[in-house]
Structure 1
């Protein structure tokens, strides 16, 4: 299997036991300008349990599994800075991956993230997300059409990419403490879905000079944003020019309504100027032996839960 794949071939690389992604320049993770006062934060105690193996140490319950959605592209770019040229509020996302049973960090896991841009467009699928129906590239400033995005509810099955853009997508490895950090922009919205970030966690594979290969996908999930932060972002361009009907967090068909137990991110930003940047964090509890590729129906919300930031 070669280390490089053309865009039209990306959807064919679906077998996680043969998964390989191309290593391209790793972007430096820059600190956001969050100095000063007047912060907004939704920090709170997550749902935790005590692990017999760890005695008094607290351990998180399993993170909720969700559908993969129609716009996942495997064999993507190995990088921490996924922004490229997309305008929007700087967003620094810090994820910690732990073994649900042992509470120990999961090292050297491959973590994917992907999400739409400020006006609801997914890279690789611009014709399907910009409201133009094939009317050219997505807008970089004020949109000329109403973003429609994926089918409402995030379903519809996997779609073949329509172009070779890959902004706001990337894969990086967890460190010795189980942490991985991505630099991106605050996502926008499109009809039928609340603001969210998709993620996958791959374990048991091998990191090489060419990228990451093999292993299994132990988690497929989505991260969510509280309404206060989304409303604050809506006052900043280019979000303010997004005329698509917005689905609230409570109305979303994927978010299970359980707060941090359903993937709700811990966020920090300046109340008086969210445009300066947002920090988001969460701890993801996984079962490394499980296979959760997001292709089937996710388990009921009561069968799995997400976690708060750690």
Structure 2
């Protein structure tokens, strides 16, 4: 698809201000694509015995989705689009999300949801010179053989995904995009199954922005209420490793249980529910999850987030 979106820059004098330029006027409208695939976390409300009594919300609404670090490779709402694939090759992935408010258990409509992730070889767009690709076909290949003995300590972000935000090193923007939740809190993206790089399991980054304004020019203002990551079960990842282009990724893979960011809490920690043909994952994968957020909170992930699930006022928050 043709995309004329322009990179937005953070304003250091107003860190809550966000502005993006949309691909076209039609992208400012809410779209429910793929909403039927998303997990419905609000089902099961019970009516009280008294007339006009407020329904009791499901306990799951009080379990906030884990906050994590933003990581070094975020670019602020650069492309307003649902199909973020561009020229990247890999197993087709449809990512169906639903955003729910933890206090009201109601869908969060008109939120701006950002996702970004590496390609099958481990490279991030905008950061091909510094991200940790591990094979051919996805990023810049070395032109010279290394010589001599290294004398300096390694530079760049640590393998765990922290290290603070870095400035982009190139103008590529594949596998990045922002889209608007519909009135049911649904938002869907088309992309490819991510690969892996040194020190991290397979994952997708996500941010949810609320209280801003959608205009013909894009999305402005508001604040980031959630910064997290989505994860993939080991069986699905292993199924990709024998297929092109994933098979060319020679980096040693970190498993889900070895990862330093995933908190091992399942759905609450961002583990996706995946559907695909067990005998032919190459046909495509559907990943879905409900993201439960505190719309009044600010969680921009710039302070490193944390591996533990977010705290909650509900006594059921710590339940598995």
Q: TM-score when scaled to structure 2?
A: 0.79
Is the aligned partner of 1:260 residue 2:259? no
Distance in 2, Cα, partners of 1:125 & 1:300 = 25
What pairs up with 1:74-93 in 2 under 5 angstroms?
A: 74-93=76-95
Give unpaired runs (5+ residues) of structure 2. 49-53, 143-154
* Post-superposition CA distance 1:7-32 (Å, at most 9, x none): xx746679552101110155x9998x
Q: Of the two, which has the highest radius of gyration?
A: 2
Q: 1:295 aligned to 2:309?
A: no
Q: Report how far residue 128 of structure 1 moved.
A: 1.1
Unaligned runs of 5+ in 1: 32-42, 133-137
Aligned to 2:110: 108
Count residues with an aligned counterpart.
282
Instruction: Report SS of the residue matched to 2:222.
Output: strand
Structure 2 partner of 1:140: 137
**Superposition deviation, residue 258 in structure 1:** 1.2
On the 8 A contact 2:66/2:309 being kept in 1, the answer is: no
1:168 matched to which residue of 2?
175
State the match for 2:51 in structure 1. Answer: none
8 Å CA contact 2:32–2:182 kept in 1: the answer is no
**Correspondence list, 1:259-278, <5 A:** 259-278=266-285
CA RMSD of aligned residues (A): 3.3
Counterpart secondary structure, 2:236: helix
- Alignment partner, residue 210 of structure 2: 203
Offset of 1:45 from its aligned partner?
Answer: 12
Residues 13, 74 of structure 1: 8 Å contact kept: no
SS of residue in 1 equivalent to 2:21 = strand
TM-score, length-scaled by structure 1: 0.81
Moved more, 295-304 or 273-282: 295-304
> Quick check: which one's strand share is greater?
1
User: Among 217, 223, 228, which residue is 2:230 paired with?
Assistant: 223
| 1:22-71 CA distance string (max 9 Å, x none) | 10155x9998xxxxxxxxxxx9999x998995316454311100000000
d(CA) in 1 for partners of 2:15, 2:164? 17
Distance 2:13 2:285 in 1: 33
1:251: which partner in 2? Answer: 258
In structure 1, the residue matched to 2:199 is 192
Check conservation: 1:110, 1:212, Cα contact below 8 A: yes
